[in-house]
Amino acid sequence: MNKVITINLGGTAYQLEEGGYDTLRTYLETAAARLQGNPDRDEIMSDIEQAIGEKFRALLGSHKTVVITREVAAVLDEMGPIEDDSGAGADPRAGEAKARAETGESGPAQTERPPGQMGAPKRFYRIKDGAMLAGVCNGIAAYFNIDPTLVRLAFILLLMVWGTGVLVYFVLAIVVPKARSPEEKAAACGEPFTAQEFIRRAKEGYYGAMKDFPDRKARREWKRRFKQEMRANRDQWRHNWHRYWSESGDVHPRAGIALPLLSVLHGAAAILWGCALISLLATGAVFGIVLSSIVPIWIAVLVMLIAYKIFVWPLKAARRVCYYGYGRPRWASPFVFMLDALIWLAVMAVLLWLGSRYLPQLGEAIRNIPSVAHDAVHQIRQWWTGK
């Protein structure tokens, strides 16, 4: 037994099952949002409502008076997503999107698409949820849709080869942005962001009672309904995503060049900071400024850290913007990151080479790295076996 809701479509009353009502309401809300800025929005909406009404009427008879949830979904599927590319002058890029957006093959006979074909583009982010260190392996795993443990193992294997794993890891940890917002996390996994819809509903108090489930059965029922509706919305949101990324892709055509440059600047700042820190700890002086003995060393370190953060903040922000602007062709993001990482490595190598050539202490330190590493491994092994 299901609850029935009576609605008015184009002046005629229809009775829908509650689940179907929710689906219809979401469809109409999405349609209205899509038509935002269209001068004929209200008229198109009423046309659409009337068309839906007519399809409902075709389903009903003298003994069948209620449209069930499954039928509502089928009718909306037949209607197809609202595609407004007239733009109505509100969005000048809409015309370009027109050529890219696909509509022709959205007929009822061809609605079956291979999964992922129309999905949101994936992007490479570091994912901190469930990460061991900086989330690099997690991000790679999400990008290629494999088990993060395998990626971690691969990195550990790489570590055996001259420590390459560590180097690559650190470069990636610095270069790749972290997925912060839920949208970014969704993009990292290539998932359409249906959670957005969930939040919107939660805000509306649509599922007001969802927090206090009387028993497990009610909770399961709610979950079932939620999943069902999410499925109904998925295509719409996928489409939104697709459209959003395809439009924002043209914003920064020069971002491909700017990104590595900014990375180099960022890296140089990091190296400078590292040198300053070492010099402070070793000699008590930074860039020739001798630390007064009254100031405790931790305050000096803190001040330096803050100064570094302030300096680096705009660089980070700019890189983020570039990254966003550079997302449209799917293959581009990993490619750009490879380039970015390569340039970064090259700059590091040049700096190290210059350093080892002109600073005897640094050259000495670099030559000592193998023996220091050996000692460290030895100590760790001792500690391990000792335990």
Partner 1 sequence: MSVNEKFSAIRKGLLEFLVLKIIAAEKVYVADILKQFSATEFTTQEGTLYPLLSKMRREGLVDYEWKESEAGPPRKYYQLTAKGRDQLRETLDYWGKISGTVKNLGQK
Site for partner 1, rule CB under 8 A:
10-12, 31, 35, 38-40, 43-44, 47-48, 50-51, 53-54, 57, 78-86, 98-110
Q: How far is the CB of 381 from partner 1 (least distance, A)?
A: 55
Evaluate the CA torsion angle 79, 38, 45, 207 in order and state its sign. positive
Minimum gap (Å) between residue 152 Cβ and partner 1: 35
Strand partners, 126: 178
Pair 59, 9: CB distance under 8 Å: no
The nearest distance, CB 280 to partner 1, in angstroms, is 58
Whole-number minimum distance, CB 38 to partner 1, in Å?
Answer: 7
Tokens for 5, please give them. 């809701």
Residue (108 or 296) nearer to partner 1, CB: 108
* Residues 24 and 45 sit within 8 Å (Cβ to Cβ): no
**String of DSSP letters for 132-159:** SSSSHHHHHHHHHT--HHHHHHHHHHHH
Give the residue with the Cβ less far from partner 1, 11 or 208. 11
Residue 8 in tokens: 């008015």
Nearest 5°: the CA angle 239, 241, 244 is: 110
Reported as half-sphere exposure (CB side, CA atoms, 13 A), residue 380 has a value of 6
Using the minimum distance from each CB to partner 1, give the nearer residue, 61 or 288. Answer: 61
Nearer Cβ to partner 1 (49/340): 49
- CA–CA separation, 65 and 87 (whole Å): 39
Give me the least distance between CB of 107 and partner 1, in Å please: 3
Kindly list the distances between the CA atom of residue 82 and the CA atoms of 44, 114, 231, in Å, as whole numbers in the listed order: 10, 21, 17
CA-closest candidate to residue 120, choices 184, 175, 77? 184
C-beta of 61 vs 214, nearer to partner 1: 61
Q: Which is nearer to partner 1, 197 or 235 (CB)?
A: 235
Q: Alpha carbon of 195 to those of 107, 139, 200, 203, 229: distances in Å?
A: 27, 20, 9, 12, 12
Shortest Cβ 267–partner 1 spacing (Å)? 39
In angstroms, what is the minimal distance from the CB of 76 to partner 1? 9
Q: Which is nearer to partner 1, 29 or 184 (CB)?
A: 29
What distance in Å separates the CA atoms of residue 168 and residue 229, rounded to the nearest whole number? 43
| Residue 44 C-beta: closest distance to partner 1, Å | 5
Nearest to partner 1 of 83, 183 (CB atom): 83
